[in-house]
Amino acid sequence: MAQKNLKTAIEIFELLKRSYPAVLSELGDRINLGKDEVGNWTKAAHTMVLTYDAELDMNPQDDSFLQKPVWDFKGTPEDKYPLLLHYHHMTLSRFQVCKQADTVLAYILLGGEGRESTLRNSFKYYESITTHDSSLSYAAFSILAAQLGDPDKAYEYFAETAALDLDDSHKNTRDGIHVANMGGAWLATVWGFGGFRPAGPIPSFSPRLPSKWKTLSFRIHYRASSIEVQAARDKVRLNLRVGPPIDVEVYGSRYRLESELIVSVDRA
């Protein structure tokens, strides 16, 4: 994520330098941008390494993670969860155990960059060692499961997300509802099952419905346009409610949305 942030900052700098030099000059003075700063960003970004294990075809969350033993989940009594409330952090850090989505969340924020096999293997690996003690974890796993083409597994995680306060599954709703988790439920619906991605020059949609759902409908505002999406098993319908015509991507193909667009879903 740090590397992505630096590369994005460099891209914006080059855009301003090329097309809006006056804006760049004013902004540079305002934030006290040093003459060597952008060069340092470039050097730092190129020096960063994304850890990768070729044998497992997955990304360890740090360079020593796979050298640690896996936490004894089966041997841990139920009343010892959440782990952070019963074991010292220095104890937990010596094992392969995650309280929430970490690398999985990075995959989502990076827009699925990398080989699909690596994403899939990493998802399975972290799924086996994540306790979801954080209320923010289930939503991230739901989104990536849908992205990887398993909407029913995504639905299982979505159900945990949506019912977290209704069922008081973390036993602390009395202290207040988990507002960020509610946002996660929206993201799991729209980014996960709706397959929406705001990254890139145009909005992208690749809906994947779980077997329990027949249709899904939601609305997003993308820049000056308001788009309503209705996804079914055999087609996706997009309606431009407000704003000028806009290019969109549906299942990898580019279309011009002027009023209504219907795309058939090929299940062959």
Digit-coded pLDDT (tens) for 80-137: 988 988 999 999 999 999 999 999 999 999 887 889 999 999 999 999 999 999 999 9
Is residue 213 within 8 Å of residue 224, measured between CB atoms?
no
pLDDT at position 267: 52
Structure tokens at 191: 């980014």
Torsion sign over Cα 255, 204, 113, 33: positive
Structure tokens at 128: 């086996």
Enter the pTM of the model. 0.91
Q: How many C-beta neighbours within 10 Å does residue 5 have?
A: 11
Q: What is the CA radius of gyration of the chain?
A: 22
Q: How many C-beta neighbours within 10 Å does residue 187 have?
A: 18
Is residue 226 within 8 Å of residue 242, measured between CB atoms?
yes
